[in-house]
Amino acid sequence: MSATLIAFVLGSTGAGPASAQTLACVQVQTAMDVVNYLDTHDPVGSNIISTYPILDLSTDPDQLLGLPGQYISKAGFEDYRVNTADAYVEMFASLADRAARLVALQRTVQPISQETYLVTDLVLLRLPAGFTPTAVAEYRGLLRTVCTLP
């Protein structure tokens, strides 16, 4: 996995004493980097994720990989806690592309499949129906430690 640890320092800008808080994130470059990170940092502590090969245009179920305004990288995985469908990580070239994809999914796919969508930077994580609120919160927490923007 080609991931780099980055630390951001947040401080106050007021006239009072400055307090700094450091937030660390793991920088990722591809959707598979995100899947590998989720797998190696799984909160349950047991291998709950089964990864799949990196998708290409011929194996992408949505057939959008690499098209203008769509995701530039996509990887799928299965979480053994939910046997209903695969989860997907999609990586985008811009925040606008990710936002447009999220809106499109919320309008077309979510009403039918009840997917849960989690986002950070250029990453969209699509979780199939069936995850408990606790499991979704675990993925949300892990995703908050991922960054793609320099």
Exposure string for 54-93, b = 16+ CB within 10 A, e = fewer: ebeeeebebebbeeeebbbbbbbbbbeebeeeebbbbbbe
Across the range 5-15, mean pLDDT stands at: 34
- Tell me the pLDDT band of 42, cut-offs 50, 70 and 90: confident
Sort strands 20-27 and 146-147 into parallel, antiparallel or unpaired.
parallel
Query: CB-based contacts of 105: which residues, under 8 Å, 6+ apart?
Result: 115, 117, 126
Which one has a higher pLDDT value, 9 or 124?
Answer: 124
pLDDT of res. 45 = 63
Six-digit token pair at 26? 């793991």
- The answer, as to whether pTM is greater than 0.85, is no
pLDDT of res. 17 = 41
Identity of the residue numbered 79: D
Task: Indicate whether 22 pLDDT > 50.
Answer: no
Per-residue pLDDT reduced to its tens digit, 48-94: 778 776 788 888 989 999 999 999 999 998 888 887 778 999 999 99
